[in-house]
């Protein structure tokens, strides 16, 4: 257990929706592919689960969380479509700017754990860890990646259409009206999954051609607002860079950082991502027994 649930601020039980189930064969969100890799079914993406945290974080930090807050999570156990999960946060200690947060499945299984903060993000769950690369010669799937490698520069317009559609269909976990009808900052703001999609999907254009054949999944995600919120109907300049490449017994993984700046050059938002490639899904490991 991450903390005493009796002292924690808790959100409601919510059935997470695997809205990437139609991603097609070869995706970890596809039931058949996931089952072959030992999962119970197509997994609910970590960014989908992140949507469930903001209502609790508003109770901890207030609207400041959308202006200068972050949410930094390690994903521990996968869930499948419609399994109920619940988020928790420790009350903020006097004078502190950061607290522990986590998510559990209805039966108590830990789904994710980490930190949330406002202001200084440097001691977050993912920023404070020692990212040690492996020997590059050990890599078979991610052997074309290295620290400092640029994943591209992109000028994008963050549109609300997809978020509005998900809001209207009721598939955003514990949604806020800020995502659909307006916010204290005027326009609508991005829910965590929309935030991730913009700061992840564009760098994937640079990353994907360099990754060997494999099935990938999110290992950890941190979203951060610096001069936030991350508003929709806005133009942003997005840049991304590899931070570390390594491996575990079951996966090879890459850490990369992404930033979004506005037209004035102000840093609005950041993303730290760990993407994992499963060794058992790759022809490069076909002759190796794990």
Res 45: pLDDT: 79
Q: How confident is the model at residue 22 (pLDDT cuts 50, 70, 90)?
A: low
- Domain ranges across the chain: 9-120+137-285
Res 159: pLDDT: 97
Report pLDDT digits (tens) over 38-58: 545 456 777 999 999 999 999
Report pLDDT digits (tens) over 221-250: 999 999 999 999 999 999 999 999 999 999
- 166-172 contacts: CB < 8 A, separation 24 or more? 166/19, 166/193, 171/17, 171/19, 172/51
User: Who has greater pLDDT, 6 or 284?
Assistant: 284
Under a CB-based contact definition with an 8 Å cutoff, are residues 118 and 112 in contact?
A: no
CATH of 9-120+137-285, one of 3.40.50.150, 2.60.40.1170, 3.10.129.10, 3.30.9.10: 3.10.129.10
Report pLDDT digits (tens) over 183-194: 999 999 999 999
Query: Measured between alpha carbons, how far is 278 from 141 in angstroms, rounded to an integer?
Result: 9
Q: How confident is the model at residue 34 (pLDDT cuts 50, 70, 90)?
A: very low
Neighbours of 96 (CB within 10 A): 11
Report pLDDT digits (tens) over 52-85: 999 999 999 999 999 999 999 999 988 888 799 9
């Amino acid at each position: 257990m991450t903390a005493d649930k009796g002292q924690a601020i808790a959100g409601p039980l919510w059935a997470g929706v695997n809205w990437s189930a139609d991603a097609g064969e070869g995706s970890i969100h596809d039931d058949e592919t996931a089952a072959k890799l030992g999962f119970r079914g197509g997994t609910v993406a970590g960014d989908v689960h992140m949507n469930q945290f903001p209502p609790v974080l508003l109770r901890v930090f207030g609207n400041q969380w959308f202006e200068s807050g972050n949410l930094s999570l390690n994903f521990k156990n996968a869930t499948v479509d419609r399994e109920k999960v619940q988020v928790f946060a420790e009350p903020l200690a006097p004078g502190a700017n950061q607290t522990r947060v986590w998510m559990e499945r209805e039966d108590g299984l830990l789904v994710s754990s980490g930190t949330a903060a406002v202001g200084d993000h440097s001691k977050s769950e993912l920023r404070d860890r020692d990212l040690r690369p492996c020997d590059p010669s050990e890599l078979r799937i991610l052997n074309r990646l290295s620290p400092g490698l640029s994943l591209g520069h992109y000028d994008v317009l963050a549109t609300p259409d997809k978020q509005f559609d998900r809001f209207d269909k009721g598939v955003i976990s514990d949604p806020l009206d800020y995502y659909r009808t307006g916010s204290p900052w005027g326009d609508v703001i991005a829910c965590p999954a929309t935030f991730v999609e913009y700061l992840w999907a564009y760098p994937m254009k640079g990353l994907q051609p360099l990754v060997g054949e494999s099935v990938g999944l999110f290992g950890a995600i941190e979203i951060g607002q610096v001069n936030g919120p991350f508003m929709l109907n806005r133009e942003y300049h997005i840049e991304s860079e590899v931070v570390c490449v390594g491996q575990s017994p079951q996966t090879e993984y890459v850490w990369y950082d992404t930033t979004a700046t506005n037209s004035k050059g102000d840093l609005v938002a950041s993303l730290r991502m760990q993407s994992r490639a499963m060794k058992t899904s790759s022809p490069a490991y076909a002759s190796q027994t794990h």
